[in-house]
Structure 1
Amino acid sequence: MNSRVPKDRRNMLEALSTATQHLEDLGIEEDAHGFQEQQEQQRRWRRQQQKPKEYKVGVIVVDHGSRRKEANEALESVASEFKALSGYELVEPAHMELCEPSIATAFGRCVERGATFIICHPFFLSRGRHVAEDIPNLLEEAASIFPGVEWALSQPLGLQADIPRLMQQAVEECIAEKNIQSEDHADGLPMPEFNI
């Protein structure tokens, strides 16, 4: 038995092994297997009941990246506004390619400021190749430099439930700005809200 296993766990494992062996000796293999499954279910339940690990969370808001300075500056504004709204202290903008800060740079900045868990939010509309493959690969590469720092990728912006409401708001603002009346809503009443 491994001496690194805590004593109570070692005792529990020995008792489990003895009980299993006893059932097998009696020729009750199916019961022994069922007993082991029951013990494993109890261990999983106990792990789920344990207090969650505490982390210092860093958030990276990543877009594709552009050669246009204005587009990249827009992401910086979004990240800054998200930081103010969310209350997360460590929020960094990043671009997947074409310009800095890269995902690796943003990851490093979060870790330097104390992050032990990085959540990357893809500022993309769908879960295409960039979100499904490229960004996770870049995050894995960035994390390899910082052993012990964990990371996760949130769903892209386009899959969030409030997107239809934001689209509606943008359309209504455009209608008001252009001072037009929509044929769909010729009665002058505001466009209906989505029930999400």
Structure 2
Amino acid sequence: MGAGSSKQKITSQDKAILDLKVQRDKLKQYQKKINVVVDKELELARRALSQGDKRKALLALKKKKYQEQLLEKTEEQLMTLEGMTQSIEYALVEKQVLEGLKHGNDVLKEIHKEMSVEDVERIMDDTADAIAYQNEIDELLSDKITAEDEEEILAELETLQKEELEAELPQVPQNPVVSKPTSVSLPEVPTHVPGRVENVGI
């Protein structure tokens, strides 16, 4: 079961990227082999010249040139593979971003369905009605309340504020207990100690 679920996770895009990377690795290995052949042909050309065999040296250099041309083509193919791999990977990222945007749009549509234009207008109307009703009450009360009533109301408000402030303050004991200092009686020092002979002037 685990193997089957893991196979299902591999998409065609993942397989395409994997194939491209495998081909890239093969081309890099082929490049290394070509570089070995190029170095070998160059060494043969030098050895042939040292032996005075110009024809053999020329043939080795021609083979070297052919291998270098193969190396250039391989480099071009590598660049093509790298570009294609990056394009596919970027397209996948772009696809994920688009899917995220699509999901966001779907969520917005659901929210708009839940809160339609009619609902918004109804809420605005209810709010406007509530404000108008409050204004009517304020005007009605302002007509009925005199200046003296206004002063009494303000005084009552101030009293309520003081009571609220006192309720928040910590309670102080009404009858604090004051501790009186206790007198300490010291022992009397005797003026005459038995057995002691006082000096008597002769």
Higher helix share: 2
TM-score (norm 1): 0.23
> Normalising to structure 2: TM-score of the pair?
0.22
Question: As a proportion of its length, which structure holds more strand?
Answer: 1
